[in-house]
Structure 1
Amino acid sequence: MTIPATREPAAPDMLRRAGLRVTAQRAAVLDALSGTPHAAVDELHEYVQERIPGIALQTVHGIVNDLTAAGIAQRVSLPGAASALYELARADNHHHVQCVVCGRVEDVECVVGEAPCLAPSQTHDMRILEAAITFRGVCSSCDS
């Protein structure tokens, strides 16, 4: 797994700001997330194993859970996806578009036009935090 150059602040700085202890394992997982949005834990594990041979898949799961709890990463659950995907938390309410053939996932910054249903008709005494929208389609590579 090749990770492109990161555009995010250095992993140790991000971990310290979130109050997490800086370890080589956490930094490696964070680097993988920085370069690979919408990654499953097994993909992150593959990258981290190249840098830290012998790291257990369960360790990567634990680190992803720590990063999510600290607000550094967020879980992306998509219809039909084999497993949860993770991305760096952006403190926004962006959406996703997903190819139903190959599974490719991309960010959608904002929905435009008429909102069909962004406010629920009944909150059932819950304070709404976000509305998650996933557009599903077929990408141009799979459509040919």
Structure 2
Amino acid sequence: MGQVLSSNLSYKQIDDRDVFMLIGTVREGIKYGLFQNIADKSPFSTTEWSNFLHLSERTFQRYKKDRRTFDPLHSEKILEITLVYNKGVEVFGDKANFDAWLSAKNVALGGIKPKELLDSTFGIGLLKDELTRIEHGVLA
């Protein structure tokens, strides 16, 4: 296993096929610049990201100002959200359609908006399961 450099990790490359790269990136921490690149391609606001990562908006702004590196727990959550987002775009075939699905109340998910589940690993797992069902045409 070679050295993993998170600065070489691009938004498009993030998938679960290279688990060791993901583990290395989490351990190293995601630099704010890479996070900004990911955030710019996502439909989520800074407020939503701070909620997903359980960071106050003030702390989040300090990360931005100081160009800090996220700790492993926050880095892992950023990657988990990115993976589920990439999967959703792939399943829906279109970013706009998936973004709309994320923001619409969903009966299969207890009447909440899917993006409201991105603040916990359990919620992210639930979204992955739902995307798999949609992908295979099994709608509950």
TM norm structure 2: 0.28
Structure that is richer in helix per residue: 2
Q: Which has the higher contact order (CA 8 A, sep 6+)?
A: 2
Task: Give 1 or 2: higher strand fraction.
Answer: 1
Q: TM-score w.r.t. structure 1 length?
A: 0.28
Is the radius of gyration larger for structure 1 or structure 2?
Answer: 1
